[in-house]
Amino acid sequence: MPSKSRAIHADPRPLAERGLPGGRRLAGGRPARSVTVNQAESPLGWLRARGHLDDRQFDAGEKLRFDYERGAIGPRVTMGWNPAPRARGRRGPAEHFEPTEVQIAAKRRFDGALEALGGGLADIAWRVICDGQSVPGAERGLGWPARSGKLVLRIALDRLAEFYRLPG
């Protein structure tokens, strides 16, 4: 019979229970104080679930993230399995691969959205929405005071909603 701790780690659900620092242990080894974390939840989803964002702001952030992913703007994290281009005069694929029209359109929308946001708003929006950083992590990375990022992110999301012409 597997131990209780192994059963928790083998659990395929995206929820994880973590003990808080300095927490006591119960008889079964479980932390007396714990928090359940959904590891698959985005920072925007977390903020929305706790009432910090309205639906329009959340949708604007999801549109930016969609354009970021569809435009293939992020770094590649796996091997590219595309066939190598062949030399001229031989049969085979063209010498270079062109991005699709969908990818180009998404990249243009993404660039336009960041341009509409401007410097400070684009920084927090990219870090939280596209890079998946938590708001406190983005604040630290930008050198901002604690608890300022959520307010600035909400302003950025409102501006994104205007850029994407979402009904308000």
Q: What is the mean pLDDT of each run of 10 residues along the chain (168 residues)?
A: 44 52 65 60 89 95 92 70 58 57 90 93 95 93 93 97 94
pLDDT of residue 90: 53
Angle at 138 (CA atoms; ends 137, 140), nearest 5 degrees: 65
pLDDT of residue 19: 55
Residue type, 118: G
pLDDT of residue 4: 45
pLDDT of residue 6: 43
Residue 25: φ, ψ to 5°: -110, 140
Question: Where along the chain do its domains lie?
Answer: 1-40, 42-75+100-168
Contacts 24+ apart (CB under 8 A), 112-119: 112/163, 113/64, 113/67, 113/160, 113/163, 113/164, 116/159, 116/160, 116/162, 116/163, 117/156, 117/159, 117/160, 117/163
